Chains A and B, each alone.
Chain A
Amino acid sequence: MSHIQVLDLYQDEDSLIHRQDPRVKLVITLAVIVAVTALPRGAWVSYLSCLLYVAVVGALSRVQPKLILKRSLVAIPFALAALTLIFTIDGTPLASLRLGDWSLSVTSEGTVAFVSILIKSWLSVMAATLLVTTTTFPSLVAATRWLRVPKVIVSVISFMYRYIFVIADEALRLFRAREARSANPGGKPAGSIRWRARVLGGMIGSLFIRSYERSERIYAAMLSRGFDGEVRTLRIQELGPLDALTIGAFFVFLAAVLVLS
């Protein structure tokens, strides 16, 4: 049976970063994202320090830089929402655009704000990408549990991860079944758009019903093994002194970056 692999971001490798405790990585990554978000506009030196962090961690992880860069690009379309800042922030005009009675002027302050947002979101996504590329999902889930994220949320995340592949495979089979019966000897796609939309709607509905029925079977399987509404897990070990030190060192680094800005 074929599987959909795109969702599995983890890259197996034996590196210093891979071996780090997932909790250390999660805490540091969250701290980096918060710090980057808190940085003011145009704090170029601080941005560069954070980029240095990403580069060093990336190099130590032995993951191909190309891969991280490619994955981090998902952030760019969202950052484009900030494009209007170029025109809306008052300041020294760089250029003007005349549209009839209207005039749009690009300001240098606006450009700085936009570029800053672009860089900040890109840095955050790169930090997160590094985390999921070097940490297996189950250990990340365990780390969130250690961070005292409510059990229900942790369970939902872990079920989602377990079954997204199963559901994706089911969807794949449905689409294949449609392909197999969509012979169009004329060369043009057959049927009206309306009809095809209806077929697609039916497929999505059937996927939903299958998932719903599966959830009932899973629940029965959980009950069979003594589930009584409370999720129980093994106690998680305390962090070692070295791990605490690593986290401390990064906090000092991030504090310095924030002060520098």
Chain B
Amino acid sequence: MVQLDGLSFSYPDGRKALDNISLTIREGEKVALVGPNGAGKSTLLLHLNGILRGHGEIKVMGMPIGDGNLGLIRSQVGLVFQHPDDQLFSPTVFEDVAFGPLHMDLDEGEVRRRVAWALAQVGMEGFEERMPHHLSLGEKKRIAIATVLAMQPAILALDEPSGELDPRSRRALIRLLELLPQTLLVATHDMRLVDELATRTVVLDGGRIVADGPTTDILGNVTLLDRHGLEPP
């Protein structure tokens, strides 16, 4: 599904964010990407749909990312940003969820169907005419996911989906993510979410992959977690 081969990336100020990352994610896998602050998790996610372009090869569904297929790649890799205020940029919820489908050149009927479907998926029916700044953080996070689901991507990449949420909203969000059929890559610090959701965990530190294996093995290895600033759930 996603294949990274020797991916490296440095920010313009010279700071190395990703260092020779190789990673393969198979269809239907739910993978957690964990690591301390500044480990490069968000930077890695931004490479999956070609927002950032580092050195090395990235293949999505067998296609190497290039200038010619960015539109196609972006419709297949749904990126959910950490702060919903960045993701929800339209005056109303409807316009925001319709943004992706409209830019995929779908016809009006299909756009409306997709918006209704995506909002139903995240349990936010009836919020179409609401304005984002009047919503709670939990509601915003769900709608941010809907904006991407409306594009019906094959892969979902989420950055800190449970961050700053109260326990109830967090629980509802984990249940939602469990039910989604997409291949999932979740960057997070929330080790309980990792435990419940992910079958496989990748530990990133200093821009390198330092561990990759079944979640139970990784979370059971307290020394490893401790060494990379993480703690078991």
Contacts and interface: CB of A to CB of B under 8 A. Distances in A.
Interface residues of B, number: 35
A166 B133 contact: yes
Given A138-B92, A224-B51, A232-B102, A162 B133 contact: yes
Interface in B69-127: 71, 74-75, 78-79, 81, 83, 85-92, 95, 98-100, 102-104, 108, 111-112
Contacts, number: 80
Nearest to A164: B133
Contacts of A136: 129, 131
Interface string A155-170: 0001101110110000
B148 interface: yes
A225 B51 contact: no
A228 B147 CA distance: 17
B85 A226 contact: no
A235 to B, nearest CB: 6
Contacts of A138: 91-92, 95, 129, 131
Interface string A120-150: 0000000000000000111001000000000
Contacts of B103: 225-228, 232
A221 B91 contact: no
Interface in A1-46: 3
A220 B157 CA distance: 14
Where chain A touches its partner, the secondary structure class is helix
A226 B91 contact: no
- Is chain B's interface secondary structure helix, strand, loop, or mixed overall? helix
B148 A225 contact: yes
Nearest to A221: B87
Contact of A220 (B46, B90, B108, B148): B46
Contacts of A82: none
Given A158-B90, A234-B111, A217 B71 contact: no
A221 B74 contact: no
Nearest to B79: A224
A166 B86 CA distance: 10
B201 interface: no
Contacts of B83: 217
B86 A217 contact: yes
B215 interface: no
A226 B104 contact: yes
A116 B51 CA distance: 57
Interface in A218-261: 218, 220-228, 232-235
A173 interface: no
A196 interface: no
B91 A218 contact: no
Contact of B91 (A162, A217, A225): A162
A214 interface: yes
A225 B74 contact: yes
Contact of A223 (B74, B111, B132): B74
A9 to B, nearest CB: 13
B183 interface: no
A222 B89 contact: yes
Given A224-B51, A226-B104, A234 B98 contact: yes
Contact of A162 (B78, B81, B89, B98): B89
A225 B133 contact: no
17 contacts: A136-B131, A138-B129, A218-B89, A220-B81, A221-B89, A222-B99, A223-B51, A224-B78, A224-B79, A225-B100, A226-B75, A226-B104, A226-B151, A227-B99, A234-B108, A234-B112, A235-B108
Interface of A: 3, 136-138, 141, 158-159, 161-163, 165-166, 214, 217-218, 220-228, 232-235
Given A161-B91, A166-B133, A226-B75, 9 more contacts: A138-B129, A162-B91, A224-B74, A225-B103, A226-B74, A226-B100, A226-B104, A234-B98, A234-B111
